Amino acid sequence: MKGVIVGVGLGLLALSAEPRSVAAQDGMGLAGIHNWIKVSGKTCMADHFHDGQGTGPTRTQAQAAAVRAWTDFTAWEYGRRWARWQLSASQSGSCSGGSGNISCNVSSRPCTH
């Protein structure tokens, strides 16, 4: 009986493992679920923003941490092609705090070449 259960479990596991999509292989991840537009020679999400939050002892370090958070999540969701803050559109950010405890938030629309 154990052999049957193990066999069924392995069979279900094999069926649930989908091959990587062409988009994922191409570094596009889930980008195809959003509308895209052309902006200054780049392809950008039309109206989908990603956010990042970071903290640090200085404003520069907190901003860098927030951009890293934005980059890491964007890469996870869409692939590295979309995860370049410098290429993103509609960038905004704000910071608060003081005395060595700064918190920053950034937001922008991911773009790729």
Q: Which residue has the tokens 């927030």?
A: 66
Per-domain boundaries in the chain: 28-112
State pLDDT tens for residues 1-55. Answer: 454 444 434 333 333 333 333 334 345 565 566 666 788 899 998 888 999 999 9
Would the pTM of this model clear 0.85, i.e. be above it? no
DSSP H helices in 2-105: 2-16, 22-25, 59-78
Residue 104 has pLDDT above 50, yes or no: yes
Q: How far, in Å, CA of 71 to CA of 91, rounded?
A: 13
